[in-house]
Structure formats: structure tokens, C-alpha cells
Amino acid sequence: MDFMIADTHFGDERILRYENRPFASVEDMDRQLILNWNQAVTETDRVFVLGDFSCYEEKKNRELLEMLKGKKILIMGNHDRHFGCEAWRDMGFAECVEWPVIYREFYILSHEPVYLNANMPYANFYGHVHNNPSYRDVSRQSFCVSVERIGYGPVTFGEICRRVKEEAGEE
């Protein structure tokens, strides 16, 4: 099964304030994110991390990635660029890319939202915007997987598609 998640910001104490996350401390946040992730994901699942994974140093990131189940793929966000893709792969990501990717022919996976118009057959799954009210959780062509919008754990590709179709009136 494939999962999506963005903006975990492991180890980032500032994100607690910036996004009003409901955690007592960064340790509490990290613990809950790991728990939610591992309750949903199995070792054979694939998890697309759509950016802003962690602000820890390499050793701590390696330990963190070992704790998280599944095959993890990073689409780099603005807060991931302090390491290159080779370093992220060395830490435990199965793959890392610096730009948006096309997934299953019609889905654009990116950290930041990309421009789509109503005549395009594509949908964009993204993060970056956290709880910014200028962006909807879901539309007929988009889905935000920032953790604040998806219950602080990965969401399945199937669930995303179901909610996009529901929003488009196709269910």
C-alpha cells in the first residue's frame, strides 16, 4: 500500500508554536508522529514524504528512519535542503528527489502546491502550507497532506483518491 505525508518537522520545536500543534513538547510530538506512522504503515508499504521531514542531524535522522516502518521516499521540501539527496539516502530513505514527480500517470507529488487549471487531467498532492486557510484540504484536483490536516499520520493513496472523487461529486 502507498501512503503520503508531509511536514512532519521532526525535532523542530518552533513548529509547535507556528502551527499550534497539540503537543506538550517536541519529544511528545516526535513520539506521537512515530506512533501514528507505525500504527498505519507496515514494513512492506511505501511512504511518500512530501517534504520537511526533520531538522535533526544525520545520526538522529538515521535512528528516526530506522524506527519508521515502510519504504520511505523523500520529495525534498524547503527545510530538507540542508542535506543533499545522497545524504538522505544514506540516512535511510530508499529514494530522494529534489523536484515534483508524476505518480501513477496523473498525480503530481510535490512539496509546494503547483499550478493546475480545471482543464488539466492532473491532481496535485502536496504539503508546505500546513494550516494556511488560503488552501483547501481537498479539491477535485488537489489534496494537502500536511500532518495538521491528516491527523498527524500518513494517509493512504486510496483514501486521498476517495476524498478527491467525493469532492468532485464522483462518488
Return the exposure string of 95-112: e unless at least 16 CB atoms fall within 10 Å of the residue's CB, then b: ebeeebeebeeebbbbbe
Mean pLDDT (the chain) is 96
Q: Cβ distance 126 to 114 under 8 Å?
A: yes
- Which residues, including other chains, have CB under 8 Å from residue 112's CB and lie 6 or more apart? 51, 77, 78, 126, 127, 128, 129
Q: What is the DSSP letter of 54?
A: B
56-107 pLDDT, tens per residue?
999 999 999 999 999 999 999 999 999 999 999 999 999 999 999 999 999 9
14-36 pLDDT, tens per residue?
999 999 999 999 999 999 999 99
CA 84 to chain centre: 18
How far, in Å, CA of 3 to CA of 156, rounded?
Answer: 4
Q: Could you tell me what percent of the chain has a pLDDT over 70?
A: 99
Rg (the chain; Cα; Å) = 15
155-171 pLDDT, tens per residue?
999 999 999 988 877 76
pTM value is 0.96
